[in-house]
Amino acid sequence: MAVSLVPGATPVRRAVLDNGLKMIVQEIHTAPLVSVWCWYAVGSGDEAPGTTGVSHWVEHMNFKGTTNIPSEQMKGIVERFGGMWNGYTWLDQTTYLETAGSSALEQMLFIEAERMANGLYEPADCESERTVIISELQGGENDPDQLLDTEVIATAFRAHPYRHPTIGWLDDLKSMTRDDLYSHYRRFYVPDNATLVVVGNVDAEDVFTAAAKYFGHIPAGPPRAARRAAEPAQAGERRVVIEREGTTGYVKVVFPAPSVSDPDFVPMLVLDAVLTGAKGVNLWSSFRGAPPQRKARLYTSLVEGGVASMVSGALLPTRDAFLYTLSLTALDGVPLETLEGCTVEAIETLRRSGADPAELQRARRQLRARLVFENDSVTNIAHQLGYFETLNASDLLVSLNRRIDEVTADQVWDAARRRLGAATRTVGWFRPAAGGRPLAADGDA
């Protein structure tokens, strides 16, 4: 499709190599930069019990050496061009990126081709990364809000692999073997499961030619069975309470969310903007910093109402139905019953009467602005093109503005009534333990 996320920019161009590698290229010549992302359609949603976290661990291993890039030389390739490199793993995707001066294009494609075909997975490197990842997991658990998030997700899902955290369960991280990692790598890191995205100060024809040179020889993989897990319908409210050392109470209220391909997805985006302010749909950039939300329903009722110090909502584009998450931080001294009660009441009010026209207009305007703000760099634009392609949702990305404009008040009200009821709700509390040991004591030695 010849539509761009950036007004006035050249159209997005697409091609597919014989081995199945999808390529998306956009020329943007406002800065002497290029961003390269290589996406694999595999994430923690494709994992089975026993090897949870394997996708993320494999991502870590792909920063180690390859056949043609010794481990100690990985560092320095893009840095010589002033570049940054990184990667992430989530429910439906594993992705790697480099953004650097545009003269680094060939080096970046070389790294990504090596990653796809020639990872070494040295046993000693696998072992040393095991403890790095366990450290990442434990660092996350230092944050009670993140701990609660993990528990709430695991409570809300019964069957779908979205129920386990992307980083994996600790026992799986302790027991997984090098062969588990390597077989996952070989199964999913094939050109016909990947999308290469290049955005920036490049010539699209040059990119296609160079990509063919670096990736063309990599054979396609064997057929892969599609993910089959389905989540059974929820029959009643679920609940989890964590009580341990802490200073602050947290509440999460979550509901099954529409998948990115569900007709409810865009109405729910508008509904989320009404409740908590619009974020946008860029996992890489939209959730850094608070959204515009001072007129949002939950902000006015909970923060201005004096029961929460912070509210946030998250509706993310996912391949299967994930969760719509409302996160609340209790104001010091406010009982969690009160915070939960006020939250549910605000949701029920919206379900009873719907949103008013001014709220819907505001939500649409916010989303329109956020879709501009979240596409402010070649890195962010390349992320969006690759993320939505990996979800088979590129059509939605380029038509999102129009579809947001077309959402009706009835669609939003209907989504609220059907999707935010008590029977499909999961509620989580983090309650700081009362009494017990002192929170902290300082000592000098």
Partner 1 sequence: MTPKVASGLSPVRETLDSGAVVIVQPTASTPAVALNATFLAGSLYEPDGLTGLSYLTARVLDRGTERRPAAAIAEALDDRGVSLRVASTRHTMTLSCTCLTEDFDDVLALVIDIARRPTFPDEEIAKRRAEALTVIRQDADNPAVRAAERLFELLYGPAHPYGRPAKGTPDSLGRLTRADLIAFHARRFTPPALSLALVGDIDARQAIDAAERELGGWAGAEPGAIVVPPPEPAAVRRIARIAMPGKPQSDIAYGFTTISRLDPRYYAYWMMNNVLGQFGLGGRLADNIRERQGMAYYTYSTFDATVGESPLTIRAGVDPDNVERTLAAIDGEVAKLGADGPTEVEVAETRQYLIGAIPRMLETNDSIAGFLQACERFGLGLDHDRRLPGLLEAVSGDDLRAAAADVLAPDRAAAAIAGPDAAPGERL
In the region spanning residues 252 to 291, those forming contacts with partner 1, defined by CB under 8 A, are: 277-278, 289-291
Could you tell me the smallest distance in angstroms from the CB atom of residue 252 to partner 1?
A: 16
Is residue 417 a contact residue for partner 1 (CB under 8 A)?
no
Is residue 243 a contact residue for partner 1 (CB under 8 A)?
no
Using an 8 Å Cβ cutoff, are 277 and 291 in contact? yes
Q: Which of 150, 195, 318, 366 binds partner 1 (CB under 8 A)?
A: 366
Q: Which of 13, 19, 20, 63 binds partner 1 (CB under 8 A)?
A: 63
- AA identity, residue 169: W
Say which residue the tokens 């989580």 belong to.
428
Could you tell me the smallest distance in angstroms from the CB atom of residue 115 to partner 1?
A: 15
Could you tell me the smallest distance in angstroms from the CB atom of residue 207 to partner 1?
A: 12
Q: Which stretch binds partner 1 (CB under 8 A): 78-86, 154-162, 176-184, 190-198?
A: 78-86
Identify the burial level of 409 via C-beta atoms within 10 angstroms of its C-beta, where 0-12 means exposed, 13-18 middle and 19 or more buried: middle
Residue 118 φ/ψ, nearest 5 degrees:
-130, 25
Say which residue the tokens 């002497």 belong to.
32
Is residue 97 a contact residue for partner 1 (CB under 8 A)?
no
Instruction: Tell me whether residue 18 or residue 332 sits nearer to partner 1 (CB atom).
Output: 332
The Cβ of residue 9 has, within 10 Å, a number of other Cβ atoms equal to 16
> Could you tell me the two tokens for 292?
């515009």
Instruction: Tell me whether residue 80 or residue 239 sits nearer to partner 1 (CB atom).
Output: 80
Using an 8 Å Cβ cutoff, are 65 and 118 in contact? no
Say which residue the tokens 């719509």 belong to.
324
Using an 8 Å Cβ cutoff, are 426 and 152 in contact? yes
SS3 325: strand
Residue numbers 173-202 binding partner 1 by CB under 8 A: 201
The Cβ of residue 72 has, within 10 Å, a number of other Cβ atoms equal to 8
Dihedral (CA of 140, 141, 143, 146) sign: positive
Instruction: Tell me whether residue 116 or residue 328 sits nearer to partner 1 (CB atom).
Output: 328
Is residue 369 a contact residue for partner 1 (CB under 8 A)?
yes
- AA identity, residue 20: G
Q: Which of 261, 309, 338, 401 binds partner 1 (CB under 8 A)?
A: 309
Using an 8 Å Cβ cutoff, are 201 and 389 in contact? no
Q: Which stretch binds partner 1 (CB under 8 A): 178-186, 242-250, 348-356, 407-415?
A: 242-250
Residue numbers 288-307 binding partner 1 by CB under 8 A: 289-296, 303-304, 306
Instruction: Tell me whether residue 230 or residue 439 sits nearer to partner 1 (CB atom).
Output: 439
Instruction: Tell me whether residue 80 or residue 418 sits nearer to partner 1 (CB atom).
Output: 80
Q: How many residues bind partner 1 (CB under 8 A)?
A: 85
Q: Which of 247, 357, 402, 434 binds partner 1 (CB under 8 A)?
A: 247
Is residue 210 a contact residue for partner 1 (CB under 8 A)?
no
Site string for partner 1, 3-42 (x = CB under 8 A): ---xx--------------------xxxxxx---------
Q: Which of 237, 243, 245, 406 binds partner 1 (CB under 8 A)?
A: 245
Which of 107, 121, 95 has the alpha carbon at shortest distance from 186?
A: 121
Identify the burial level of 291 via C-beta atoms within 10 angstroms of its C-beta, where 0-12 means exposed, 13-18 middle and 19 or more buried: buried
Residue numbers 332-351 binding partner 1 by CB under 8 A: 332
Instruction: Tell me whether residue 190 or residue 270 sits nearer to partner 1 (CB atom).
Output: 270
Is residue 135 a contact residue for partner 1 (CB under 8 A)?
yes
Q: Under 8 Å CB-to-CB from 261, ≥6 apart: which residues?
A: 319, 391, 392, 393, 396
What is the residue-wise DSSP string for 42-73?
A: --GGG--TTSTTHHHHHHHHTTS-BTTB-HHH
Could you tell me the smallest distance in angstroms from the CB atom of residue 377 to partner 1?
A: 5
Q: Under 8 Å CB-to-CB from 186, ≥6 apart: which residues?
A: none
Could you tell me the smallest distance in angstroms from the CB atom of residue 249 to partner 1?
A: 10
Is residue 100 a contact residue for partner 1 (CB under 8 A)?
yes
Site string for partner 1, 376-395 (x = CB under 8 A): xxxx----------------
CA pair distance 28, 10, nearest whole angstrom: 7
Using an 8 Å Cβ cutoff, are 250 and 429 in contact? yes
Instruction: Tell me whether residue 375 or residue 411 sits nearer to partner 1 (CB atom).
Output: 375
